[in-house]
Structure 1
Amino acid sequence: CFEKALLLGPKDWFIVWLAARIREHYEQFVLALKLLQQAIEWNAGHFLLWLELGRCQQALGLIAPAGNSFTQAQQLNPNCSEARAAQIQLADAGFWPRFRGWSRRLFGG
């Protein structure tokens, strides 16, 4: 299904972003991360891509890269309250969010 959608809109960052959001909804964060990286290659100037990338990175326990992604999202859209809130949440994150992300990467769930 995803492959067909991606074939209909080759190099269309929006379709790839939508596919990544679906993957993220089903907690398939690694697959979503790969899609978002591809979408960013095609349109690095859209804050939504960086925001979603940060969310996936955060879910995987990749705290420093997530912070960088949220910062990029906020630089591209200074009015993005979600990016600002995510940065605050990351600053408050301790050991357990990192551990959950590590266990998701290791055990796939």
Structure 2
Amino acid sequence: MNKYNTLPGQLLAFVPRPQFKNLVKSTQADKHCKGFTAWHHFVTMSYAQPANPNVLRSLENSLDSNHSSLYHLGIQKDLKRSTISYANNNRSCVLFEKLFYSILDSSDIL
């Protein structure tokens, strides 16, 4: 059986998971979280960038159709568009801003 890394997996390889967990802890991003964690939110939004959906319904359908590849990234159940919408509206962007700057500081691109 061939083993390969999916496109979302390749994109998320740039994000050190322990660093992400430390940022979540410092920003308390998962403080009142019941099931849709900050990691799930980040994976969903990272998946949405290359998928380029017009509305949340098409993102939901795309996630459902690629469920087998997202299982390995930590998303184990089907996501509903209401969950994604609620997270986008109520979750603070501070975590993602700090993540961006920490990855930018650690990259050797510049």
Normalised TM-score (structure 1): 0.33
